[in-house]
A = this chain, B = another copy of it.
Amino acid sequence: MTGELGTEDSVVLYDTTLRDGMQGFGMQLSVEQKVRVAASLDGLGVHYVEAGWPGANPRDTAVFERLREAPLPRARLAAFGATCRPGAKADSDPVLAATLVAATPVVTLVGKASLWQVETVLRTTGEENLRMVHDSVAHAVAQGREVVFDAEHFFDGHVQDPGYSIAAVEAAVSGGASWVVLCDTNGGRLVDEVASAVAATRARIGDRLGIHCHNDAGLAVAASLAAVASGARMVQGTINGTGERCGNADLLVIAANLQLKCGLAVLAPGALRELVAVSRLFDSMVNRTPEPQRPYLGPAAFLHKAGLHAQGVARDPRAYQHIDPAQVGNQTRTVVSDQSGRSNVATKLRDLGLDDLDPQARGAIVERLKQLEGAGWAFEDADASFELLVARALPGDAAPFALQESLVVAHDQDSLQTADAAHQVDASVKVRVGPTLVHTAATGNGPVEALDGALRRALTSHFPVLAGVQLVDYRVRVIDGDRGTGATVRVSIDSSDGDRTWTTVGCSPNILHASALALVDSYEWVTRHAAESNCLSSTA
């Protein structure tokens, strides 16, 4: 495909994770998280970021407010909306007005481009729909906005009645739309059908043409690439392909393909190697385990299990890898078994500057790691807990404190009532700090908050650094879900002191115990680091 598209950078990426992506099963993000997603897309150099549908959802309205106060440095911000309703005037339609109120430079309006849909679902005439499309686009253009027209059901319509579908996109063009985006809304068209319809439309309206695919037939990435090869110059998609039903086209996978396979530099310089980080950040925000097999970006995307393949990769990585995984921020992994081997540990120790650890200590660490991993622990995203595991295995190591006892009492008197009422819990802890045994207690809205409060009361006077520590994320993953309420759970906690963020993990069939382990690791990690920097300053 290289070379067919003219100059580099001629294809723009348009992300709709925060709108279409949120239609995916189980997707929910807070206002804060949505702003973080937008920032991560901006960092990649995604050209357009659609942040929601301000007319439909009060949370989306708040996101646009936040992004108006602190605009994205690079990306153009788009608000989504629909054309006015049948019989309504574009300049007085309340839903369209709500979209414009968000005051974004870009407004994306969806309208129908299939006569069957217009007549069956919208229940109006083809002619009235053309008026709605034209007038709505023209109204937004008159407000000084760049208008993207999403031509819903274009490809289905083009099979049934190509003349009408083309007329619909021409109505948007005549209304002043900057981009016309052809949508395979139901996701069922074959790649060749998409390619030929894009080519036919391009012949009519020129190259301000985009593509928006869904993955219902497993072809969304391929169809998006085929559309680009046929002249589409904007690609819409979502992070990790989240979206209604089978999802939208996976924008990050498309970006990797365009850049690495088609010679199109669609991302900001250097951003390609951030793709894995953006994909994992999103998974973590929506509390999903990263899909191991995700093309380019999954944790297993460059993982070799077979003896023959692992041997081949040892001779030359290209033997069984289509790209150098570092290009997208991923890495080669070789698994001997389901457990991690010595080579994994060696890599991690090198990261900690402990290359020269003696073999006995190294063996003890590997043993401990195997034991913990067998019980459900995972250190992949918990570097602070791994660092503590290593520190505790070194000869002569002394912990700054030790949690010796904890008691949690939860007394609920109206469990069948809803969460509106408070269901407070008491916790007490006994913590040894040097020669002292500190006994403290606290109350919280849940058992973990109560434990956290008691621990802080016990420790903060001894370790003032803890006063500045905040727990910024708390995640629970059930490991053996099919064991019901007897399942093992893994708790991960992200903590921050404003400058640094660190992650700790705890694992147990008892969620209170797992949480306590992760909390203690977080406070121990920052306490040890504070002690180190004190030493440094006193010898300076």
A342 on interface, CB distance cutoff 8 Å: no
A372 CB → nearest B CB, Å: 7
Q: Mark A451-479, 1 if CB is under 8 A from B, else 0.
A: 11000000000000000001111111111
Complex contacts, A418 vs chain B, CB 8 Å: 371-372, 375
A302 on interface, CB distance cutoff 8 Å: yes
Give Cα A261–Cα B187 distance, bound, in whole angstroms.
Answer: 12
Q: For residue A286, which residue of chain B has the nearest CB?
A: B477
Q: A25-B380, A186-B320, A472-B484 are in contact. Are A412 and B445 (CB under 8 A)?
A: no
Q: For residue A378, which residue of chain B has the nearest CB?
A: B28
Q: Mark A14-57, 1 if CB is under 8 A from B, else 0.
A: 00000000111110101011000000000000000000000011
Tell me which of A62-70, A172-180, A241-249, A346-354 binds B. A241-249
Complex contacts, A472 vs chain B, CB 8 Å: 481-482, 484
Complex contacts, A412 vs chain B, CB 8 Å: 405-407, 512-513, 516
- Contacting B at CB under 8 A, from A371-412, are 371-372, 375-378, 380-381, 399, 402-412
Q: For residue A303, which residue of chain B has the nearest CB?
A: B25
Q: A23-B309, A225-B190, A339-B23 are in contact. Are A516 and B295 (CB under 8 A)?
A: no
Identify A381's interface contact among B26, B305, B414, B484, CB under 8 A. B26
Indicate the member of A188, A191, A226, A335 with the most B CB atoms within 10 Å. A191
Complex contacts, A444 vs chain B, CB 8 Å: 485-486
A215 on interface, CB distance cutoff 8 Å: yes
A251 CB → nearest B CB, Å: 11
Give Cα A445–Cα B510 distance, bound, in whole angstroms.
Answer: 6
Give Cα A416–Cα B512 distance, bound, in whole angstroms.
Answer: 12
A162 CB → nearest B CB, Å: 18
A527 on interface, CB distance cutoff 8 Å: no
A164 on interface, CB distance cutoff 8 Å: no
Interface size on A, residues (CB 8 A): 153
Complex contacts, A165 vs chain B, CB 8 Å: none
Q: A289 and B481: CB pair below 8 A?
A: yes
Indicate the member of A299, A309, A482 with the most B CB atoms within 10 Å. A482
Give Cα A115–Cα B486 distance, bound, in whole angstroms.
Answer: 51
Give Cα A59–Cα B338 distance, bound, in whole angstroms.
Answer: 10
Q: B245 and A304: CB pair below 8 A?
A: yes
Tell me which of A216-224, A268-276, A358-366 binds B. A216-224
A500 on interface, CB distance cutoff 8 Å: no
Q: A216 and B295: CB pair below 8 A?
A: yes
Q: B402 and A416: CB pair below 8 A?
A: yes
Q: For residue A306, which residue of chain B has the nearest CB?
A: B23
Q: B186 and A321: CB pair below 8 A?
A: yes
A344 on interface, CB distance cutoff 8 Å: no
Tell me which of A97-105, A198-206, A311-319 binds B. A311-319
Q: For residue A476, which residue of chain B has the nearest CB?
A: B476
A82 CB → nearest B CB, Å: 8
Give Cα A229–Cα B192 distance, bound, in whole angstroms.
Answer: 10
Complex contacts, A190 vs chain B, CB 8 Å: 1, 225, 257, 261-262
Q: List 11 A-B contacts (CB under 8 A).
A: A24-B305, A30-B479, A186-B320, A187-B295, A191-B222, A217-B257, A218-B257, A399-B416, A415-B517, A446-B485, A447-B510
Sample of 17 further A-B pairs with CB below 8 A, known A26-B378, A218-B250: A25-B303, A25-B335, A28-B338, A117-B312, A186-B321, A191-B225, A245-B293, A246-B301, A405-B411, A406-B411, A407-B409, A408-B409, A410-B447, A415-B517, A416-B517, A416-B520, A476-B476
